[in-house]
């Protein structure tokens, strides 16, 4: 399965880059665990962040950020088989779960729910 890992990005950080990076690291740690279960993990951030820079975003939450950041993740979910929701409170991550539910995707709330792919 291709599984989108959805967790807090800005939530609880007051847009502090160090705390945001900590959130990204947590999602990437989980992405590695998903890969080791035999699946293809993805993060919306892997697609959005390079585009934000290229599109001229100057800061988190500016018009370019809003144009790209969550919309690209929503589009990505359409290509995924499932969403794994991790971490604490996050409006954005909850939106990714709601998008996945609307699209009929499997929703995992704990990595232990993800089946190991037999090889």
**Domains of the chain: which residue ranges?**
2-113
Distance CA 4, CA 65 (A): 20
Regions of the chain where pLDDT drops below 50: none
CA 17 to chain centre: 17
Phi-psi region of 36 (alpha: psi -120 to 50; beta: other; left: phi over 0): alpha
Q: What is the pTM assigned to this prediction?
A: 0.92
Superfamily of domain 2-113: Hypothetical protein PA1492 (3.40.50.10400)
Read off the DSSP letter of residue 111.
G
Distances (CA, A) of 25 to 28, 61, 62, 105, 112: 5, 20, 23, 24, 19
The predicted structure's pLDDT at residue 119: 56
């Amino acid at each position: 399965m291709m599984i989108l890992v959805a967790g807090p990005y800005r939530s609880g950080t007051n847009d502090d880059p160090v705390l945001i990076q900590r959130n990204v690291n947590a999602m990437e740690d989980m992405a590695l665990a998903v890969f080791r279960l035999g699946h293809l993990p993805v993060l919306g951030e892997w697609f959005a962040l390079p585009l934000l820079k290229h599109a001229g975003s100057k800061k988190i939450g500016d018009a370019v950020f809003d144009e790209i950041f969550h919309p690209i993740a929503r589009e990505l979910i359409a290509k995924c088989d499932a969403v794994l929701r991790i971490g604490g409170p996050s409006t954005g991550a909850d939106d990714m779960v709601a998008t996945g539910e609307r699209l009929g995707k499997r929703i995992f709330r704990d990595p232990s729910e993800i089946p190991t792919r037999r090889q």
